[in-house]
Amino acid sequence: MRFLAVMLVAILMFSCETKKQKLQRTLTELQDKEFVFPPNSDLELYSNVREQNKDSLSKIMIASKAKILIYVDSVGCGSCKLNMHDWMIKVAEINTLIENPQDVSMLIYFWVQKQAKFNIRQTISQVNFQYPVFFDPTNSVSKLNNLPENEMFHVLLLDQDNKIKLIGSPQGNDKMWELYKKNISEFCNGASF
């Protein structure tokens, strides 16, 4: 019996992937993977900018040389997780580094619970958030791209071909923010800042 218990522990020790190994494997799987956008019909656009509609935004997204994509599960406090004011400051900083600010798109997808929509819309209006927010009631963004549940993998930098180039949020992480700026500058200007 004791031998069986020792064998079971040994098998578990060698078969279990460490947390660090699992994170590294997930990063490797996502890196350079093409991000698939859901059809417009699956999404509901909410924007403070009146002239924006899903079709014109699709054209902008396709033409953008860099895309910051944020996927937020609205369970809990979706607008708290997003910190829209901080993103507005970051995008304003990026716009000073690139020749054509329209080369960068910021896209936010909320997998939203019905009761959370009102709160998220209210927050968007309160902070005068000027970037498109898509409500994704069927969670198509996550399903199409096999996004991990771990929120650390829900902020992505995509290149012009929608390939995932950076994974992780630069909010509260100066080194990651420097990487975002460097990559965006290279995508848009052809050189680092």
The confidence band for 118, taking pLDDT boundaries of 50, 70 and 90, is confident
Assess whether pLDDT exceeds 50 at residue 176: yes
Question: What is the reported pLDDT for 168?
Answer: 93
Assess whether pLDDT exceeds 90 at residue 178: yes
Q: Can you read off the two tokens belonging to residue 96?
A: 């000073």
Question: What is the reported pLDDT for 2?
Answer: 56
Global pTM?
0.81
Mean pLDDT rounded to a whole number for the chain: 79
Of all helices (H) and strands (E), which one includes residue 113? none
Cα–Cα distance, 21 to 17 (Å, whole number): 6
The confidence band for 76, taking pLDDT boundaries of 50, 70 and 90, is low
In a 13 Å sphere around the CA of 180, the CA atoms on its Cβ side amount to 25
Instruction: Give all strands (DSSP E) within 16-146, no chain letters.
Output: 44-46, 66-73, 104-111, 133-135
Query: What residues pair up with 158 in beta bridges, in sequence order?
Result: 67, 164
Assess whether pLDDT exceeds 60 at residue 66: yes
Q: Which of the 8 DSSP states describes residue 34?
A: B
Q: Are 101 and 64 in contact (CB under 8 A)?
A: no
When mean pLDDT is compared across 22-26, 42-46, 75-79, 164-168, the lowest value belongs to 75-79
Question: What is the reported pLDDT for 60?
Answer: 65
Pick from 18-22, 62-66, 126-130, 141-145 the range whose average pLDDT is largest.
141-145
Cβ within 8 Å of residue 12, ≥6 positions away: none
Domain ranges of the chain: 33-189
In the CATH scheme, what architecture does the domain 33-189 have?
A: 3-Layer(aba) Sandwich (3.40)
Q: Does 62 or 94 have the greater pLDDT score?
A: 94
Amino acid at 162: N
The confidence band for 33, taking pLDDT boundaries of 50, 70 and 90, is very high
Assess whether pLDDT exceeds 70 at residue 10: no
Question: What is the reported pLDDT for 5?
Answer: 46
Q: Which of 175, 157, 148 is nearest to 29 (CA)?
A: 148
Question: From residue 61, how far is each of 46, 80, 160, 176 by CA, in Å?
Answer: 16, 25, 9, 23
Question: What is the reported pLDDT for 32?
Answer: 92
Question: If you average pLDDT over residues 102-129, what whole number do you get?
Answer: 79
